[in-house]
Amino acid sequence: MKLIIQFYLWQITEDLILQNLGNIINA
């Protein structure tokens, strides 16, 4: 159960990081 939660949180974090990188590149 804990691994599933960690994986879910990592997916969210990864999405946010990619969005931030995209914003930096586009800025």
In this predicted model, what pLDDT tens digit does every residue of 1-27 receive, in sequence order? Answer: 799 999 999 999 999 999 999 999 887
Cα(12)–Cα(7) distance, rounded to whole angstroms? 9
Half-sphere exposure (Cβ direction) of 19: Cα atoms closer than 13 Å: 6
Supply the pLDDT for residue 27: 79
Supply the pLDDT for residue 7: 96
The token pair at 25 is: 């590149």
Q: Which residue has the tokens 């879910």?
A: 8
Supply the pLDDT for residue 13: 98
